[in-house]
Amino acid sequence: MWLRVAHFFQTFAGLQLKTCVKNKVPLIKCQFMPPHRTLVLTSCIKNEEKKVSPDKLDLDIWKTVMKETALETPNLCPSEDPVDSFSAATRELVQMWRLAGKAVPENLTEEQLTIVQELPSKSAKKKYLKYLAIKEGKKKATKEKQKIKQEQAKYQKEKENEGGIELRNTFLLQFWQRSFDVMYNWRAAQSMMFGQPLIFDMSYESYMARREMENTISQLLECEGFNRRSLDPFHLYFCNMIPEGSYHKEFLKRYGDAWDRLLITVTEKSYVDVFPKDKLVYLTADSPSVLKSFQHDKIYIIGSVVDKSIQTGLSLANAKRLKLATARLPLDEYLKWDVGAKNLTLNQMISILLTVKDTGNWQEALKFVPKRKHEGFLPIPEQKYCNQSKSYQNKTRIDKGPIKKTRRQKSTLSQGVERSSDRKRWWLEED
């Protein structure tokens, strides 16, 4: 018995000693190591020392494996035709980029391939391919969602069928989308006779790149839809529309046959030829005057352009040339602007105009301005027009000066900021 205990103690002490050594080894090692954090795998190293020394660990074994498998893949012979080989080479490049983990689409159509080839630089190609890859990914995701939905619907139907069809007594037949469409078209037709015109100026074909044009058409589609669904729609005019121009082509691509049945007026003529000049007001963010209230006898013009390259003064120049009145939305007067350009998308514009036309309430209308662009509504905006007090001017100066300074990258020295705010402010001193 005694012997046993002594033996136990001995082994215990031995264990303790061992653990002490174990703990110390990494500590000593740490002193010689570089200061950055590293994974210390003492146990692994120990194992290696026991089993295989680093020399014995065959580091090139993967090469032999790779070479063996390499023999299996057959080499395709390259095609002869030079034009064909160029597009084939581009296709192969895209594939290799995909293998290399770059964001490129899995499948390329011929049309997309020619676009890729025509792009001038490597970065342009990469950007376009990335765009296609994202598009492809989104498409796949929606398809998957649809599939799940369909299956669920099927399941639900089966369940209902089990219960048997229950007949109900109702006042109306089911109100189908078709009936809605008829109603909306009635309203649109009515607005074509008696509604207030709203003009989209389609004279910006040459200023837009392909992507911008696509975006413009998407926005116009949304505009038309929103207008049709509203209580009192505008009579939409698409002026300066060149037949067979890129606007027209893109519209046909998107609308298909419905393009000819749309209840809007499309014309090659300019708006100055259709309407009296003194009724026209060109809406542009660069305008010096503010749209204080919506007037029902004026005809507003919106330039249908998406400019991602920020071409300032594009639509203002058009208005100046024709000597039209211009106006901008009262964004600064109602909102505490935060980031982003003051030019809004076309569908936001039409939503704002429709709301302000129906209600006359700017607060309500400007809810369509994206939330990310502003920090909220200013408290009592009406007062600003009533009393042009000095305190207001000072306040805006203090509020906006430093914020703008950080965001603006103008070519002037620090004083330039003052000046540009001066440029923005002079209309306040006008009346």
Partner 1 sequence: MLAQRFRSLALRLQRALGSIPACQGVPKLLPSCVALQLCTAKNLTSSEFKQSDANQRKTSKAQLETIHRADTGSSSSVFTAGAASKRAESAKSRMGVEMADASTVTKVTKTLVPLKPLNVDDWKKLKKESYNKTRFAVSMMEKLLSARADIDVAKSLLVFVTMESGTVEYELLLKYLALCVQQQHLTEVLDLYVMMKSRFKVLDIGAYSLFISGFCKTDRWREAVVFLESIKKLVTPSPRNYGDIIISALQHKEVETAWILLKEMESKNLKPTESTLQTFFDHGKSFYDDQYENKIMYILFYLRNNQIYPGEGLMHSIHSWFESIPGNQWKGHETTILQSGECPICNTLLESIQLSTEEYHMLRDCVMNDIIQGTDTFKKTTPQELQHFQTFVKNHLPFDVVIDGLNVANIAPKGNQSRILLDVVSFLANRNMRLLVLGRKHMLRGTRSWDKGHMAEIQKYADCFFTENISEDDPFLLYATIHSGNHCKFLSRDLMRDHKACLSDQNTRRLFFKWQRGHQLVLSRYNPRKRMKFEIISRYDTIVQTSHDTWHIPYDEEGVERCSYEVPRKWLCLRKHN
Q: Within positions 263 to 302, which residues make up the interface with partner 1, using CB under 8 A?
A: 286, 288
CA geometry: angle at 392 spanning 389 and 395, to 5°? 150
Q: By CB under 8 A, is residue 208 in contact with partner 1?
A: no
Of 396, 400, 401, the C-alpha closest to 428 is: 396
Non-local (6+) Cβ contacts of 331 within 8 A are: 337, 342, 366, 369, 374
**Region binding partner 1 by CB under 8 A among candidate stretches 146-154, 237-245, 247-255, 423-431:** 423-431
| Least distance CB 378 / partner 1 (angstroms) | 11
Residue 111, amino acid: E
**Region binding partner 1 by CB under 8 A among candidate stretches 1-9, 87-95, 140-148, 169-177:** 87-95
CB 133 within 8 A of CB 105: yes
CB 217 within 8 A of CB 254: yes
Q: By CB under 8 A, is residue 81 in contact with partner 1?
A: no
For the packed helices 122-163 and 110-118, what is the interaxial angle rounded to 10 degrees? 160
Contacts 24+ apart (CB under 8 A), 363-372: 363/334, 366/329, 366/331, 366/334, 366/335, 369/331, 369/335, 369/344, 370/340, 370/344, 372/338, 372/339, 372/340
Q: By CB under 8 A, is residue 4 in contact with partner 1?
A: no
Contacts 24+ apart (CB under 8 A), 397-405: 397/421
Q: By CB under 8 A, is residue 28 in contact with partner 1?
A: no
Residues of this chain, 333-372, that bind partner 1 according to CB under 8 A:
none
Q: By CB under 8 A, is residue 167 in contact with partner 1?
A: no
| Least distance CB 48 / partner 1 (angstroms) | 7
**Region binding partner 1 by CB under 8 A among candidate stretches 32-40, 156-164, 230-238, 247-255:** 32-40
**Region binding partner 1 by CB under 8 A among candidate stretches 140-148, 159-167, 250-258, 316-324:** 316-324
Among 12, 209, 398, 408, binds partner 1 (CB under 8 A): 398
Backbone dihedral region of 256: left (phi > 0), alpha (psi from -120 to 50 degrees) or beta?
Answer: left
Among 3, 21, 28, 59, binds partner 1 (CB under 8 A): 59
CB 255 within 8 A of CB 222: no
Residue 216, amino acid: T
Q: How far apart are alpha carbons 275 and 269 in whole angstroms?
A: 10
| Least distance CB 375 / partner 1 (angstroms) | 10
| Least distance CB 114 / partner 1 (angstroms) | 15
Token representation of residue 29:
């090692």
Q: By CB under 8 A, is residue 386 in contact with partner 1?
A: no
Among 58, 106, 181, 268, binds partner 1 (CB under 8 A): 58
Which of 121, 293 has the CB closer to partner 1? 121
Q: By CB under 8 A, is residue 60 in contact with partner 1?
A: yes
Residues of this chain, 227-246, that bind partner 1 according to CB under 8 A:
none
Q: By CB under 8 A, is residue 121 in contact with partner 1?
A: yes
| Least distance CB 398 / partner 1 (angstroms) | 5
Q: What number of chain residues touch partner 1 (CB under 8 A)?
A: 73
